[in-house]
Structure 1
Amino acid sequence: MQHYDAIAIGSGQAGTPLSRKLAESGLKTALIEKRWVGGTCVNDGCSPTKAMIASAKAAWSVYHNKSLGVITDHFYVDFSAIIKRKDDIVHRMRSSSEKSIQETKNLDLFYGTATFSGNKEITVTLNDGGTAVFTADKFFINTGEKPSVPKIDGIESVDYLTSTSIMELDSIPEHLLVLGSGYIGLEFGQMFKRFGSKVTIIEPSGRILKKEDADIAEEVTKVLKEEDIPVLTNTKAKSVTENGDHIAVTVDENGKETVLECSHILVATGRRPQTKELGLDKTGVDVDEKGYIKVNDKLETSAAGIYALGDVKGGPAFTHISYDDYRIISENVISKGNASTKDRLVPYCMFIDPQLGRVGITEQEAREQGLDILVATIKNDSVARSIETGDERGMMKAVIDAKTKQILGASVLAEQGGEIVTILQMAMMGNVTYDRLMNGVFAHPTYAESLNNLFMTLEQ
């Protein structure tokens, strides 16, 4: 048995920097990782998927460039080269992170699966064999989430894909059926359509992106339709069977049972926390009905000295939120501060093309709260930069407090939508009112300049 001042379980975007910071502060620290350093973001999520999306955008651009007067007679998608580039990026980032850990004094890295065997004690089943028992004064849980597979009759009898396994394919699917129209489903659906797959997306609800405003969801649907990606709403998978070289999926579509045939199924119906194997019942750490660890606004669990960071605690499942959790813990535990998750802005970006950048509340949320608001919208076919670059898809939208003129939230579906919405986020952080942006001088012609026009719609 070995004792540490602090132990971090999971080397994601919170666990890795936190373990280093704890060690650098003089605390004897251990970091336990059951798979690869870097967590989902580096290995299965943000970095590899966005690398592949860049390749898909290049393929789409070949067709799109015809409208700009640039004609390419022939091209092909080298899928093996795309996968190799993705893997090279992952290995580069993973190796860099692992090296930084190994070079940090007071920090020990162990590869294995950690299970609590006591209140402040873990037993680690080491990947290279054997077990080790560690105790610590403080524990920081950063084990994240993994894909959740719904109960569909026969789903376990076929070789279905998840957001992890789909990136290990060695060939492009003939027909990819996507279960779910959330971020994962839409990003992978559009990506593989651009690589050459036939793609069908099914969604049990009446529309995609239920948490976004209806007009934004409608614009995204229009983008998918333009790329010949059908989205079957009010459609639920009932059963799955193998049919020779293909897979037959029986679906309930608006109360009518039909059969869809495909070569591959991507299950993109949600994710669940990786808490089951932690043995939290031995710690006094409470979880909710879905298994997410309950924390307060300082990320403290119900057990003293045990904290949870990142996706495993529920809430917004974004890398930047996980990293901000690290900053909060670092401030409070090391610097004895009083940082909190209360009222923090949660920006995010869905990397379909065009990107959907978001921050703050939506119009539907504002109206549900009974707020007195102004709503500014502009279609990108009225934005000079969009017209000039030949990509007029999408729209921009902002929700404003009618009395204070403060921006409450924004949605930007546009080329570089994630970058544009960041300008609005900074305005929100600095209490810059919408009229100051409306009258601001921005370089012409840029996407940022379109914010003048967006807010001018409120003055008409």
Structure 2
Amino acid sequence: MDEVGFLVIGSGSGLDVANAAANRGQSVAVVEKGPLGGTCLNRGCIPSKMFDRADEFHIDAKARDVGFSEIVREVSEDVEADSESVRRGLRSSPKHELYEGEGRFVDNRTVELISGDDEGTRIRAETVLIAAGTRPSIPDINGIDEVEYLTSTEALQSETPPDHLVIVGGGYIAAELGRRLAISSASIC
């Protein structure tokens, strides 16, 4: 079993705390099952904010033409490159140990990886921080199973803008998504 002073589950904002612990001399482990960098980098505000740089993303400044699929591909490539940069940074750091896979608690201070490259590894830590971020959830709305819908993750990766869209939710990802799709001339409610 691996033992560390500080274990962070998630690689988004939890990395700030992991870095602070490492800088204080603690041994640090990071467990992540998905792309590194967290919700904001991979499925939230960063991909949607990248759409604001219009001229860099094939948008005529007068909005006569929007290369929507090219925009989505380039944003996705940039996000993937940033996530890979986080991976390289953690792998090369003498202060961090990266474990890739989904972790489950097996006791109060021990996490076992149940999937991924490090499946089967157990990590025990004096302190455990759960900073696993968010995932979209499908709200319990009558009739939702009878219509086509996208989660925010799917909408941010879609290379074809919808003709119209109703956004359910008012959090930062919903707000960013509405702004992003407004660029594509979708009718948004």
CA-CA distance at 1:179 after TM superposition: 2.4
Partners of 2:3 and 2:124 within 8 A in 1: yes
Q: 1:58 offset after TM fit, Å?
A: 8.6
Distance apart, 1:109 and its partner CA: 0.4
The alignment-based identity, stated in percent, is 29
| Structure 1 residue aligned with 2:187 | 198
CA–CA distance in structure 1, aligned partners of residues 170 and 19 of structure 2: 37
1:90 deviation in Å? Answer: 0.8
Contact 2:6 2:127 in 1 (8 A): yes
1:22 aligns with 2:11: no
CA contact (8 A) 1:20 1:101 kept: no
Give the structure with the larger helix fraction.
2
Deviation at residue 37 of structure 1 after TM alignment:
1.1
User: Partner letter of residue 192 of structure 1?
Assistant: L
Which residue in the other structure is 1:12 paired with? 12
Unaligned runs of 5+ in 2: none
Task: Please give the secondary structure, in 2, of the residue aligned with 1:151.
Answer: coil
Does residue 48 of structure 2 align to residue 49 of structure 1? Answer: yes
Structure 2: distance between partners of 1:62 and 1:135: 56
The one-letter code of the counterpart of 1:7 is L
Query: Partner residue of 1:116?
Result: 105
Match of 1:144 in 2: 133
1:55–1:82: 8 Å Cα contact kept in structure 2?
A: no
Tell me if structure 1 keeps the 8 A contact 2:99–2:118.
no
Q: How does 1:43-192 map to 2 (within 5 A)?
A: 43-55=42-54, 61-62=61-62, 75-128=64-117, 130-192=119-181
Alignment of 1:198-347 (within 5 A): 198-199=187-188, 201=189
How do residues 368-383 of structure 1 correspond to structure 2 at under 5 angstroms?
Answer: none
Higher normalized strand content (fraction of residues): 1
Q: C-alpha offsets along residues 92-151 of structure 1, whole Å, 9 cap, x if unaligned?
A: 322222222112114210111112111111121131373222211111121122223221
1:185 Cα deviation from its structure 2 partner: 3.6
The Cα shift of 1:29 comes to: 1.8
Displacement of 1:34 in angstroms is: 1.1
d(CA) in 1 for partners of 2:77, 2:24 = 33
Q: Secondary structure at the match of 1:170?
A: coil
SS in structure 2 opposite 1:147?
A: coil
Question: Per-residue CA shift, 1:238-294, capped at 9, x if unaligned?
Answer: xxxxxxxxxxxxxxxxxxxxxxxxxxxxxxxxxxxxxxxxxxxxxxxxxxxxxxxxx
Q: How far 1:45 sits from its partner (Å)? A: 1.5
Secondary structure at the aligned position of 2:166 is classed as strand
Letter of the structure 2 residue corresponding to residue 40 of structure 1: T
Structure 2 counterpart SS, 1:122: strand
C-alpha distance in 1, partners of 2:128/2:171? 33
Judge conservation of contact 2:45–2:176 (CA < 8 Å) in 1: no
Give the secondary-structure state (helix, strand or coil) at the position aligned to 2:93: coil
Number of equivalent positions: 188
State whether residues 24 and 105 of structure 1, in contact with CA within 8 Å, keep that contact through their aligned partners in structure 2: no
Residue aligned with 2:103, SS: strand
What is the CA distance between 1:60 and its match in structure 2?
8.7
Q: Superposition RMSD on alpha carbons, in Å?
A: 2.6
Larger Rg: 1
The structure-2 alpha-carbon separation of the partners of 1:183 and 1:38, relative to structure 1 and needing over 3 Å to count, comes to closer
User: By how many angstroms is 1:46 displaced?
Assistant: 2.1
Distance 1:156 1:135, change over 3 A: farther
Cα distance between partner residues in 1 of 2:148 and 2:116: 26
C-alpha contact 1:59 1:194 (8 A) present in aligned 2: no
Distance 1:135 1:129, change over 3 A: closer
C-alpha displacement at 1:167, in angstroms?
0.9
Alignment CA distance shift 1:187-1:38 (3 Å): closer
Could you list the runs of 5+ residues in structure 1 that have no partner in the other structure? 64-74, 202-460
The structure showing larger relative contact order (alpha-carbon pairs under 8 Å, at least 6 residues apart) is 2
Instruction: Compute the TM-score of the two structures, normalised by the length of structure 2.
Output: 0.85
CA contact (8 A) 2:4 2:123 kept: yes
CA contact (8 A) 1:176 1:198 kept: yes
**Cα distance in 1 for residues equivalent to 2:121 and 2:146:** 37
Q: Deviations over 1:166-223 (max 9, x none)?
A: 0111211122222245544443234323313222x2xxxxxxxxxxxxxxxxxxxxxx
- Structure 1 residues 164 and 12, CA, compared in 2 at 3 Å: closer, same or farther? same
Matches of 1:45 and 1:79, distance apart in 2: 18
- Distance in 1 separating the partners of 2:136 and 2:9: 19
